Amino acid sequence: MAASLLPVAASSVEAGDPLLAYGARIVGDDARTRIVIDFDREPRFSVHYIANPERIVVDLPATAFGFPAKDLAARGLFKDIRYGKMDEESARIVLTTAGPVKLALAKVQADEAGKGHRLVLDAEMIDKRAFAELVKTQSWSDRGDAAQTTSAIPAPEKAAPGDFVIAVDAGHGGIDTGAIGVDTKTEEKQVTLAFAKALTERLNKEPGIKAFLTREDDEFLSLSQRVLIARQNHAGLFISLHADTLKQKDIRGATVYTISDKASDKLAADLAERENLSDQIAGKETVAEPPEVADILLDLTRRETQAFSISLAESVLNSFKDQVGTINNPHRHAGFRVLQAPDVPSILLEIGFLSNAEDEKLLLDEAWRGKIAGLLTDAVKRYRAAVMANGG
Per-residue x/- mask for Zn ion, residues 335 to 364, rule CB under 5 A? ------------------------------
Side chain identity, residue 24: A
Residue 173 CB, nearest distance to Zn ion (Å)? 10
Minimum CB–partner distance for residue 244 and Zn ion (Å): 5
For Zn ion, give the closer residue by CB, 19 or 363. Answer: 363
CB of 313 to Zn ion, least distance (A): 17
User: Does residue number 178 form part of the binding site for Zn ion (CB under 5 A)?
Assistant: yes
DSSP H helical ranges for 249-356:
266-275, 278-281, 296-320
Q: Is residue 174 close enough to count as binding Zn ion by CB under 5 A? A: no
Count the site residues for Zn ion by CB under 5 A. Answer: 4
Minimal distance in Å, beta carbon 151 to Zn ion? 26
**Strand (E) or helix (H) holding 216:** none
Site stretch for Zn ion (CB under 5 A), options 171-179, 198-206, 320-328, 368-376: 171-179
Q: Which of residues 226-255 bind Zn ion (CB under 5 A)?
A: 242, 244
Strands 101-110 and 117-125: antiparallel
Stretch of residues binding Zn ion (CB under 5 A), selected from 5-13, 47-55, 78-86, 170-178: 170-178
Furthest-apart CA atoms within the chain: distance in Å = 73
Nearer to Zn ion, 240 or 315 (CB): 240
Nearer to Zn ion, 103 or 167 (CB): 167
Minimum separation from the CB atom of position 278 to Zn ion (A): 8
From the list 81-89, 166-174, 218-226, 333-341, the region that binds Zn ion by CB under 5 A is 166-174
Contacting range for Zn ion; rule: CB under 5 A; set: 8-16, 27-35, 167-175, 371-379:
167-175
How many of the other CB atoms lie within 10 Å of CB of 92? 24
Which residue number places its CB atom closest to Zn ion? 242
| Among 138-146, 177-185, 194-202, 379-387, the segment contacting Zn ion (CB under 5 A) | 177-185
Closest to Zn ion by CB, 60 vs 241, is: 241
Residue type, 282: A
Cβ proximity to Zn ion: between 33 and 177 the closer is: 177
**Triad 42, 44, 49: Cα angle to 5°:** 135
Least gap, CB of 176 to Zn ion (angstroms)? 9
Check binding of 176 to Zn ion (CB under 5 A): no
Of 171 and 173, the one with the shorter C-beta distance to Zn ion is 171
Q: Is 171 in the site for Zn ion (CB under 5 A)?
A: yes
Least distance in angstroms from the C-beta of 6 to Zn ion: 35
Non-local (6+) Cβ contacts of 309 within 8 A are: 258, 259, 339, 345, 346, 347
Q: Which is nearer to Zn ion, 118 or 333 (CB)?
A: 333
| Residue 60 to residue 45: CA distance in whole angstroms | 5
Binding site for Zn ion (CB under 5 A): 171, 178, 242, 244
